[in-house]
Amino acid sequence: MQTGAVMGQQAGINPEYFVRDRILVYLKKNKDYGNSFVNSLNKHGIIAYKVRAEDKIQRIVSLLGRKAEVSDESMKDTVLDLFNYTAMVNSWEMKDGSLKGLIGRMEHLIEDGGIYFMDYLMEHHLIDEGEAGIAVEKAIMGILHEELHRTM
């Protein structure tokens, strides 16, 4: 994680903590789900990501301006799930399913405060440039910013 350490020092953020936290969640969920996301990608291609990502983005739209009724599925949880899915599909596209490859994709997506994460969502037409897209982008970037600035 040398690049993350340097990036974090330059940007005043703590990417190592963020990536470590996301990897721990990935490992736990992957154990519970039995690698179902990668299996879905292998079976259905990128559409498997798009369907899951669209569900997450729709939830973000639905939660804009209100609190989630299910306490363990907050806006923050939804954004972080979307981030993990994006890192996993990005790793899958790069044909590097190793843990090191996933860490590298996560580090890349959070460079410049998450700009590559947003670019990926827009590139796959998951967020548009209209008012709703701007509101979703602000919500995602706000949560990502908070998480990147958290300390252990």
CB contact at 8 A, 82 and 57 = yes
Q: Rounded CA gap, 51 and 57, in Å?
A: 10
- First-last CA distance in the chain: 17
Is the model's pLDDT at 43 over the cut of 80?
Answer: yes
Is the model's pLDDT at 84 over the cut of 80?
Answer: yes
From 86, 7, 101, select the one nearest 48 (Cα to Cα): 86
Q: Rounded CA gap, 124 and 106, in Å?
A: 17
For residue 17, the model assigns a pLDDT of 85
Q: Rounded CA gap, 114 and 146, in Å?
A: 11
CB contact at 8 A, 6 and 14 = no
How far does Cα 23 stand from its chain's mean position?
11
The share of the chain scoring above pLDDT 70, in percent, equals: 89
Is the model's pLDDT at 12 over the cut of 90?
Answer: no
State the Cα torsion 64-67-71-74 to the nearest 10°. Answer: 20
Q: Rounded CA gap, 31 and 2, in Å?
A: 27
CA distances from 86 to 37, 91, 102, 121, 152 (A): 11, 8, 10, 8, 24
**Coil, strand or helix at 140:** helix
CB contact at 8 A, 68 and 139 = no
- What is the per-residue pLDDT across 118-127, written as a single tens digit (0 to 9) for each? 999 999 998 8
